[in-house]
Amino acid sequence: MTVKALAGWTVSLDLWGTLIGHTDKDAVTDWRVAEFARVFDTFGHRRTLDEVRAATSATDQKVLRQQRRHGVQPVLDDMLAAIRSPLDIPNSPQMSSALRVVHTHAALRGCPQPLEGAVEALTALSMSGARLVLTSNTLATSAEVHRQLLDDLGLSGYFADMLFSGELGIAKPHPDVFNAITTRAQCPPQRVWHVGDDRRTDVNGALTAGCRAVHYRPDGEAIPDEVPVITHLGQLIDLLTTACQRAGAGTVVPS
């Protein structure tokens, strides 16, 4: 007989900045700006790259603030309208269709890859008896593109469930995101650990909803905190095993 240390527990993991990151983040912005400008020009609205970059950047910053502070999930067409507005470009169905493709696929231009220790951590967690859930905020990149990316990176198979803010209609730190984790896992919030690198959206969001949290700080600064802190994903399985054993013994299953 073997004790599955995390059996009966749900471990939710953030995606960007926790499990994966861009190899070239600047390439995402540069390609998106260049493609937006090309589409605008094609439909008779020539604008400089600097003008398009300024409008795009301002919109990104605004929707990110709303998401991180209030859990508001941006709507793709609203984001595109906010970019067009300062450029004084009217909408058209054909142009919007092209802009949507650019906006939702731009993240792939950064060549996203698993962060150091991510695959090893997921492998260890998958053998621990825990139910693994991916809980990710999305901005421009759609849930469909995220799923294809995770398939391509070989990460999809680790997760029993994937929650994307673009499909939920709300975003971390909104407590209903974490309520969705517990509802779909059919477990109380006290049996859910959420792991992420963002203090506001991941840690505070999870705690507000009654879940447990691990703060991932890859910068190496393990500051004293009321929540567990890790500086490398390789530390996660031991931390959770110890914490869950203190909270309640794992389930004995046939070896």
Q: What is the pLDDT of residue 250?
A: 47
Output the six-digit token pair for 237: 């399985």
Convert the pLDDT of each residue in 43-92 to its tens digit: 999 999 999 999 999 999 999 999 999 999 999 999 999 999 999 999 99
Q: What is the pLDDT of residue 1?
A: 27
The torsion angles phi and psi of 94, rounded to 5 degrees, stand at -65, -45
H helices of the chain, in order, are 25-42, 49-70, 76-87, 93-105, 118-126, 143-152, 165-168, 175-185, 205-208, 236-247
CA atoms of 172 and 247, how far apart (whole Å): 26
213 contact partners, CB below 8 Å, separation of at least 6: 193, 194, 195, 196, 202, 203, 206, 207, 227, 228
CA atoms of 205 and 141, how far apart (whole Å): 22
Q: What is the pLDDT of residue 222?
A: 58
Q: What is the pLDDT of residue 48?
A: 98
DSSP 107-149: GGGG--EEPTTHHHHHHHHHTTTPEEEEEE--SSS-HHHHHHH
Indicate left, alpha or beta for 142 from its phi (over 0: left) and psi (-120 to 50: alpha).
Answer: beta
CA atoms of 242 and 116, how far apart (whole Å): 23
Q: pLDDT tens digits for the chain (255 residues)?
A: 245 889 999 999 999 999 999 999 999 999 999 999 999 999 999 999 999 999 999 999 999 999 999 999 999 999 999 999 999 999 999 999 999 999 999 999 999 999 999 999 999 999 999 999 999 999 989 999 999 999 999 999 999 999 999 999 999 999 999 999 999 999 999 999 999 999 999 999 999 999 999 999 998 765 656 899 999 999 999 999 999 988 874 443 333
CA atoms of 58 and 87, how far apart (whole Å): 12
CA atoms of 143 and 79, how far apart (whole Å): 16
Query: How many of the other CB atoms lie within 10 Å of CB of 218?
Result: 16
